[in-house]
A and B are shown apart, each in its own frame.
Chain A
């Protein structure tokens, strides 16, 4: 009896923990692309860069005792899936009786961009270490999503001048909608962040070291350090030729059972975390969610499905948080899908408010600035609707 967990991030580790908690006593092999044991990623864009969070505080596997004993294969990513065998990059073949796919996602680099030294991405602990060691002078961030906005905030905490470029007109607009996105824009502007919105980088300047960038509107901006934060894609390359449906992520049914290209369940294979695209029982559509909470809860649900069969659909409502400029932004549901926004607490001029999003009179999501209790109530309202 051997369960292979492909991926050693939050979802992979929580799956291993849940397998043990649910009574699995066979071998668990956790294979990860990175050399590190599982760690928590959210601080990488914040406290780890400022020094407020120590690396040791990131460890997820502190409970790695006899109860959760696993066999590690770290720094050795999964390379292929052939029937009931996972092949690792170094050629090792692992036969399995069960497989958890939790390979997460990898940064997207805009096509055609050169990469002189000083141009970073931020996904892994090694990425964060390299950025921290290099983080001085003028910073340019590509992408005004969560990571880009958090990075801008962190740079201001460090007293560094920072500019953020994004082709969209306002930061986080896809997630928050225009009204709240404008509020985020102002929050950062008041903190000294320079926005380069409605534009994108077409070329970096500098050869031995980045010195700046040329924007699509013809402007040039100077920069000593660049971070590309233009989103991620699900890490499914290793599944090529396996028969698994990887359109839009690893396609799963509502129990997180992996489906093949014909839509049939692949026996004894489940998925969780960033990589999984599953039919959400409450939302009524297939979604792939890159939030921490979805990985944490989905991994446990996938582990239960693997051991006990399809008993409970995975119905956790997408839920996120982001700490920026001293404020905590929290959201639930799919607010970016809402056509109408209603302020149910506070107003957009202040620092504390709750916005409720709806489409055709149906509540689809809520976002709170600095009001966690009110958001918990919104979440209950959303799930009981």
Chain B
């Protein structure tokens, strides 16, 4: 499972951090960081993050 976020589309809503905090986190400047390490362990949460993203910036390749 490969997770990518389009930096142009991302507007730092933070929905992904709520859905899958193991993978997605905003820093204090509201810049999004992705930790690819835990992705396989929280697959459903990552899918939920992609669904919840208002700008549809998260792309998942299985």
Residues of A with Cβ closer than 8 Å to B? 14, 40, 42, 292-293, 296-297, 300, 319, 321, 328, 330, 372-373, 375-376, 379-380
Contacts and interface: CB of A to CB of B under 8 A. Distances in A.
Contacts of B52: 293, 296-297
Nearest to A294: B52
Given A293-B15, A319-B15, A321-B13, A376 B51 contact: no
Contact of A376 (B11, B14, B54, B56): B14
A297 B14 contact: no
A373 B21 contact: no
A372 B54 contact: no
Given A319-B18, A321-B54, A376-B14, 13 more contacts: A293-B54, A296-B51, A319-B15, A328-B11, A330-B14, A372-B13, A372-B26, A372-B30, A373-B14, A376-B17, A376-B18, A379-B18, A380-B18
10 contacts: A14-B51, A42-B54, A297-B51, A321-B54, A372-B14, A373-B14, A373-B28, A375-B14, A376-B14, A380-B18
B7 to A, nearest CB: 15
Chain B interface size, as a band, is 10 to 19
B40 interface: no
A373 B17 contact: yes
Contacts of B56: 40
Contacts of A373: 14, 17, 26-28, 30
A14 B14 CA distance: 20
A253 B13 CA distance: 29
B54 A330 contact: no
A376 B48 contact: no
Contacts of B18: 319, 376, 379-380
A34 B9 CA distance: 27
Contacts of A42: 54
A293 B51 CA distance: 8
Which residue among A42, A292, A375, A380 has the maximum number of chain B CB atoms within 10 Å of its CB?
A: A375
A79 to B, nearest CB: 30
